[in-house]
């Protein structure tokens, strides 16, 4: 077992989280614990995350300690159950306050999800560390998903050597990374999508480097780097699946469904901003479109549908995935409308540099552009429609 996997987590300083155990909290307790961490640890930092690009590492550790990254992982729970809806709701609670931190939670949840459904050896080495938040991690799968959708070429290529693979190439943006972090990604052996391998990359590997090649609005606090692979050796025990295409087919519905945590949280935050303007501006805001009650109704419908689908995250049928993509598209579109509405309902005050409305507006575009982006979703749904899926 790796030294990382053996590390025994200690409670983050000042944390509110309860004593950690692999025993899962029931969904309501998990969501309410998450809310307490958000109120007391994240809220005081949100403006700095947004304006200074602060990476809220202590908050992410507290969330891990509370069990947030464990809800959807049967292999990291003593009851062997999977509660995807609880994972989505907890992420929404974080994203409602700060989408940047909510995205970091998605990165962590998704990296752990890859291990959950991958090779037992890699899972045994890393799953518990990720589920507990002792090790923080991400996912470099945007290029993969776009390559499999025929949008761009795969950027990482590997070669089989004794005991593993040597990988070269680069990924322009991978988040929630740093020294000692890990992330899941896929490389090609054939130069295209025919022969691919899914692996866990350790940022400490010789030949691997993180490059800060850009600064971002709204998401600067997510530690997003370009990842450069210069003859990086990936040992066999870090291979999540040596059939990358098959793996993506198993992972994709769960990966996309978890993103609803970001979308639902952002939309709810926008609705709350609209509502907070009502006492003073309701008499005139009544003439606006996308009033908070209308948005709430649409959000509730999406959330109900998603939480139902999330009961069976391993369902791999094309029909199921099409439904997930349709809802994902709807969530991205609703996020844009809700954030525009938050701006219009708030008026001039929404333009203050400290105003949640303008922050949520910038955050909401990320829901619509993170892979699968709106244009990617429309392309994929059009293809499915043509094939009559």
The residue among 186 and 295 lying less far from ligand FAD, judged by its C-beta, is: 186
The residue among 102 and 292 lying less far from ligand FAD, judged by its C-beta, is: 102
Q: How far apart are CA 147 and CA 12, in angstroms?
A: 39
Smallest gap from Cβ 82 to ligand FAD, in A, equals 23
Q: How far apart are CA 99 and CA 94, in angstroms?
A: 7
Q: Which of 59, 87, 174, 234 binds ligand FAD (CB under 6 A)?
A: 174
Smallest gap from Cβ 33 to ligand FAD, in A, equals 26
Is 266 within 8 Å of 93 (Cβ atoms)? no
310 binds ligand FAD (CB under 6 A): no
Smallest gap from Cβ 171 to ligand FAD, in A, equals 6
- The window from 3-11, 125-133, 134-142, 293-301 that contacts ligand FAD (CB under 6 A) reads 134-142
How many helices (DSSP H) and strands (DSSP E) are in the chain? 15, 8
The residue among 31 and 234 lying less far from ligand FAD, judged by its C-beta, is: 234
For residues 350 to 379, the per-residue mask of contacts with ligand FAD, x marking binding by CB under 6 A and - elsewhere, is -------------------xxx-x--x---
Q: How far apart are CA 202 and CA 137, in angstroms?
A: 9
Is 296 within 8 Å of 334 (Cβ atoms)? no
Per CB under 6 A, which of residues 212..271 are in contact with ligand FAD? 216, 219, 222, 224
Q: Which of 9, 11, 172, 178 binds ligand FAD (CB under 6 A)?
A: 172
Smallest gap from Cβ 139 to ligand FAD, in A, equals 5
Cross-strand bridge partners of residue 156 = 169
Instruction: Give the closest residue to 339 by CA, choosing from 35, 95, 174.
Output: 95
Q: How far apart are CA 95 and CA 264, in angstroms?
A: 8
Q: How far apart are CA 71 and CA 311, in angstroms?
A: 12
- The window from 9-17, 115-123, 132-140, 300-308 that contacts ligand FAD (CB under 6 A) reads 132-140
Is 368 within 8 Å of 332 (Cβ atoms)? yes
Q: How far apart are CA 154 and CA 32, in angstroms?
A: 41
CA distances from residue 30 to 44, 62, 67, 122 in whole angstroms, order as listed: 21, 12, 7, 27
- Residues 75-113 as b or e (16 or more Cβ within 10 Å = b): bbbeeeebbbbbbbbbbbbbbbbbbbbbbbbbbbbbbbb
Cross-strand bridge partners of residue 158 = 167
Smallest gap from Cβ 164 to ligand FAD, in A, equals 22
175 binds ligand FAD (CB under 6 A): yes
Smallest gap from Cβ 370 to ligand FAD, in A, equals 4
Smallest gap from Cβ 100 to ligand FAD, in A, equals 9
- The window from 15-23, 50-58, 167-175, 236-244 that contacts ligand FAD (CB under 6 A) reads 167-175
Per CB under 6 A, which of residues 17..56 are in contact with ligand FAD? none
- How many residues line the site for ligand FAD (CB under 6 A)? 20
Per CB under 6 A, which of residues 73..112 are in contact with ligand FAD? 107
Query: Which residues lie near ligand FAD (CB under 6 A)?
Result: 107, 138-142, 152, 172-175, 216, 219, 222, 224, 369-371, 373, 376
């Amino acid at each position: 077992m790796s030294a990382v996997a053996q590390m025994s987590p200690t409670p983050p300083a000042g944390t509110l989280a309860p004593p950690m155990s692999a025993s899962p909290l029931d969904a309501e307790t998990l969501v309410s614990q998450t809310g307490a961490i958000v109120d007391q640890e994240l809220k005081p930092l949100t403006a700095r995350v947004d304006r200074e690009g602060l990476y809220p590492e202590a908050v992410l550790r507290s969330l891990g300690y509370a069990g947030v990254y464990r809800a959807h992982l049967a292999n990291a729970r003593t009851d062997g159950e999977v509660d995807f809806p609880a994972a989505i709701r907890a992420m929404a609670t974080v994203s409602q306050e700060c989408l940047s931190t909510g995205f970091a939670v998605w990165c962590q949840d998704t990296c752990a999800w890859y291990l959950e459904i991958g090779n037992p050896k890699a899972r045994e080495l890393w799953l518990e560390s990720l589920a507990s938040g002792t090790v923080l991690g991400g996912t470099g799968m945007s290029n993969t998903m776009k390559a499999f959708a025929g949008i761009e070429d795969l950027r990482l290529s590997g070669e089989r050597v004794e005991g593993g693979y040597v990988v070269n190439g680069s990924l322009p943006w991978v988040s929630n990374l740093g020294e000692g972090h890990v992330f899941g990604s896929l490389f090609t052996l054939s130069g295209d999508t025919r022969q691919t391998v899914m692996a866990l990359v350790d940022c400490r590997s010789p030949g691997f480097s993180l490059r800060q090649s850009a600064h971002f609005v709204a998401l600067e606090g997510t530690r997003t780097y370009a990842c450069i692979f210069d003859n990086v050796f990936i040992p066999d025990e870090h291979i999540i699946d040596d059939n990358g295409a098959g793996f993506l087919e198993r992972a994709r519905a769960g990966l996309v469904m978890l993103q609803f945590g970001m979308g639902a949280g952002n939309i709810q935050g926008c609705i709350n901003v609209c509502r907070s303007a009502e006492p003073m501006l309701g008499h005139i805001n009544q003439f606006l479109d996308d009033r908070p009650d209308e948005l709430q109704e649409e959000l509730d419908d999406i959330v109900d549908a998603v939480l139902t689908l999330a009961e069976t995250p391993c369902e791999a049928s094309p029909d199921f995935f099409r439904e997930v993509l349709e809802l994902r598209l709807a969530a991205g579109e609703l996020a844009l409308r809700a954030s525009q509405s938050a701006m219009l309902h708030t008026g001039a005050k929404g333009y203050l540099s400290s105003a949640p409305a303008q922050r949520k507006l910038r955050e909401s575009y990320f829901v619509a552009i993170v892979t699968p982006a709106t244009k990617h979703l429309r392309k994929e749904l059009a293809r499915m429609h043509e094939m009559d899926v």
